[in-house]
Amino acid sequence: MNPITVPSISYFTMAPMLVLFVGSVLLMAAASLLRHRLPEVVSTATSVLLGLGALVVSILQWDHLIRHGSSSTVAGALVLDGFSVFVNITVSCAVILTALVAHDYLARLKFDSAEFHILALLSASGALIMGAANDLVVVFLGLEILSIALYVLVALNRKNEKSAEGALKYFVLGGFSSAVFVYGIALTYGATGSTNLAKMGTYLSANVVHRPGLLLAGIGLLAVGFCFKIAAVPFHMWTPDVYEGAPTPVTGFMAAVAKVGGFVAFLRVFETAFSTQQSTWAPLLYTVALLTTFIGATSAIAQHNVKRMLAYSSINHAGFILLGVVVLTKAGFAGSLYYLFTYSVMAIGTFALLGVLGGARDEDHDLTSYRGLAKRRPGVALSLALLLLAQAGMPFTTGFLAKFGVIEATVAHGEIPLALLAMVSATISAVAYLRVGIVMYATHDVPTPVSDGSSFKDRAEGSLLLEVEPVATTHEVPVAPTTGLAIGICLAVTFYFGIAPGALLDFARQAAQLLR
Amino acid sequence: MSVNPSWFLILSALLFSIGAFGLLIRRNVLVMFMCVELMLNAANLSFVTFSRMLGDIGGQATVFFVLVVAAAEVVVGLGLVVAIFRRRHHAVVDDLSSMKG
């Protein structure tokens, strides 16, 4: 018998996920051992500090990566490279922002705030595992840690029936997609003899596969599993319902973290293991990307509920990020990574505003309740308008540069029709964003008094008087300092890196270059 | 007596398809959970078969991970069903249609 060899483990590579995971377990222990509910301030502060801790470790990892290059650990199952550090930094930022956003929301709706933070931290650690995983089994484990915590997070609002309904839909379709994913792992394992991405890649570049059907079926099933997670058409049906049903800060968190984890794992699996098979799967993903951008954009226009509209817009964004997977070049990776970071920030900011506008019970998300918002709450309306314009791709915001990056990479790869059609879809989706802006700025919440022959001046005065006491004040929720801080950070990042993009663009480019 | 391993692969493909079709056709949430379990276990059967064919222990080890994940998933799923059951007293997906569009 050979002695069992224990692989060397680099705890430095695993440090960010360990910080979040161990922190969340300790928070859970503290919350369940205490006789009383853990004060909201304590759990929010813990969550923010853990996020900051993970962020600091990730920045140290980046420094190490620049100096010493990428490395793998635990027998090649986890890697420290540009992608993994990029995910670590993005998800840590998302954790901090979400904790700040959720603080006031959880208190307002009287949720158990420790519960939310424990699950969010666990879910984030799953995304980090996906980002660093270099083995399909580890990708699967990360995916499940991410998803199972998210199922519960979506169902967190027990007073709202839609929350449980959304969670169940997410769960059934998520379970289905995981099963498809596992079967995909099994088939590719049978075809290549390994689940390690690097070994699969080496095997496929050195050998002609004698079971091509098995391999292709496996790749297809893996792609289906990923497309479910990133909400690509035709596997997007769950997205609007889940986004609508979930508590609003959870929606923002999900839009950011689940997309980052899913996309980076998608990129890594298809680059490291299946890049030699690109000619077979690229046409399929080409179609999926095209459908995703178009169906996301056109369905977004038809929505009356702002949360559903943003769900479809997130599908449109997923189509853009998918372009980087289709072209599979370094420029495409850089574009996708940049898009993921900037979209995460914009999504968390937008949903934070929606959480405020949703009223005391987080239920008023109909577009009609936004009428005349610019007069009632100019600050909130302006922030929302700016973030939506950034999502639409307005110049001088990161949203513009993100779209520009992926489109540029697509054109450079020679897929000019795809790039053109994607831009057309961006124009269509801009209608959906602008409609919210128009409703906020160009309509009145109070109908003008009946014209009984009084002069225009009188009516204007009448409406001015009416606006002293608007109808909707009873439901209005003030912006709490923590929420305001998070929204401010999101706006600052979106505009600062839109005007002076150098640092963030370089970061994404270097991360794409340093892929192991 | 030895059985040709490809029969096991065919069986696993059949089980997986039954699970997938069941999930799409059946309306009872509990039966849908069972279908997901069937799909996961079909994948496990493939893992073990490939593991034997390739003479590699990795595939058999993977099965344990999949089993643990399946158990964790069902725990959460049943929790969700109970949460819905408390309100409605049955668990049929056709009734879960308050959101559309």
CB A156 within 8 A of CB B87: no
How far is the C-alpha of A291 from the C-alpha of A199, rounded, in Å?
33
- What is the distance between the alpha carbons of residues B60 and A134, in angstroms, rounded to a whole number? 19
Per DSSP, helices labelled H in A231-372 are 238-245, 248-253, 259-268, 278-301, 306-327, 330-357
Element holding A165 (H helix, E strand)? helix A161-192
Q: What is the pLDDT of residue A240?
A: 94
Chain segment A192-245, per-residue pLDDT in tens: 999 999 999 999 998 887 778 899 999 999 999 999 999 998 999 999 999 999
d(CA A101, CA A515): 33
The answer to whether A176 contacts B20, with C-beta atoms less than 8 Å apart, is yes
What value, to the nearest 5°, has the Cα angle with vertex A44 and ends B76 and A110?
65
CATH number of the domain residue B88 falls in = 1.10.287.3510
Decide if B67 contacts B5 (C-beta within 8 A). no
Q: What is the DSSP string of A434-453?
A: HHHHHHHHHS-SSPPPP-SS
Give the pLDDT score at A260. Answer: 96
Contacts of B47 in chain A (CB under 8 A): 186, 189
Quote the minimal CA–CA distance from A308 to chain B in Å.
8
In the block, residue with structure tokens 């997410």: A170
Q: Burial level of A208, CB count in 10 A (0-12/13-18/19+)? A: exposed
Contact B20 A171 (CB under 8 A): no
Query: Residue-wise pLDDT tens for chain B (101 aa)?
Result: 678 888 999 999 999 999 999 999 988 889 999 999 999 999 999 999 999 999 999 999 999 999 999 999 999 999 998 888 887 766 677 777 777 66
Closest CB to B83 among A144, A155, A182: A155
ipTM of this complex: 0.94
Partners of A172 on chain B (C-beta within 8 Å) are 23, 29, 32, 36, 77, 93
Largest CA distance in chain B: 57
> Do the Cβ atoms of A85 and A58 come closer than 8 Å?
yes
CA nearest neighbour of A85 among A123, A141, A128: A128
Instruction: List the structure tokens of A151.
Output: 């199922």
pLDDT of residue A448: 43
Name, in order, each residue with C-beta under 8 angstroms of A339's C-beta and a sequence gap of 6 or more.
A317, A320, A321, A324, A402, A403, A405, A406
- Find the closest chain A residue to B61 by CA distance: A137
Chain A residue numbers touching B21 (CB-CB < 8 A): none
CA dist A388 and A430 (Å) reads: 9
Chain A residues with beta carbon closer than 8 angstroms to that of B77 = 151, 171-172, 175
Q: How many domains does chain B have?
A: 1
* Domain membership of residue B33 as a residue range: 5-100
Return d(Cα B59, Cα A193) in angstroms, integer. Answer: 9
Across the interface, whether the CB atoms of A172 and B93 are under 8 A apart is answered yes
**Residues B99, A183: C-beta atoms closer than 8 Å:** no
Contact check, Cβ <8 Å, B40/A168? no
Helix (H) or strand (E) holding B8: helix B5-25
Residue A507: burial class (beta carbons within 10 Å; 0-12, 13-18, 19+):
buried
Give exposure, A311-336, as e/b (b: 16+ Cβ within 10 Å).
Answer: bbbbbbbbbbbbbbbbbbbebbbbbb
Output helix, strand, coil percentages for chain A, rounded to the nearest 5: 80, 0, 20
Evaluate whether A232 touches A324 at the Cβ level (below 8 Å).
Answer: no
Q: Which of B42, B47, B83 sits opposite A189 (nearest CB)?
A: B47
- Residues in chain A with pLDDT < 70? 1, 445-475
Task: Inform me whether the C-beta atom of residue B23 falls under 8 Å from chain A C-beta atoms.
Answer: yes
Question: Which residue type, as a one-letter code, is found at position A161?
Answer: E
Nearest CA in chain B to A177: B36
Q: Which of A182, A195, A308 sits opposite B101 (nearest CB)?
A: A308
> How far A509 CA sits from the closest chain B CA (Å)?
35
State how far the Cα of B10 lies from the Cα of B13, in Å rounded to an integer: 5
pLDDT at B101: 64
Is the Cβ–Cβ distance between A421 and A290 less than 8 Å?
yes
In angstroms, the separation between the Cα of residue B87 and the nearest Cα of chain A is 8
C-beta atoms surrounding B27 within 10 Å = 11
Is the CB of B46 less than 8 angstroms away from the CB of A190? yes
Name A73's bridge partners.
A78
Q: Which residues of A touch B20 (CB under 8 A)?
A: 176, 179-180
Q: How many CA atoms lie within 13 A of A393 on its CB side?
A: 23
pLDDT of residue A7: 86
Residues of chain A with Cβ-Cβ distance to B49 below 8 Å are: 190
Chain A environment of B9 (Cβ under 8 Å): 190
Please name the residues between 54 and 83 in chain B that touch chain A, using a CB distance below 8 Å.
Answer: 54, 56, 58-59, 62, 65-66, 69, 72-73, 76-77, 79-81, 83
Count of pairs with CB atoms under 8 A, one residue in A, one in B: 122
CA distance A260 to A239: 16
Q: For residue B47, give the nearest of A141, A186, A305 by CB distance.
A: A186
**Cα separation, A227 vs A322, whole angstroms:** 10
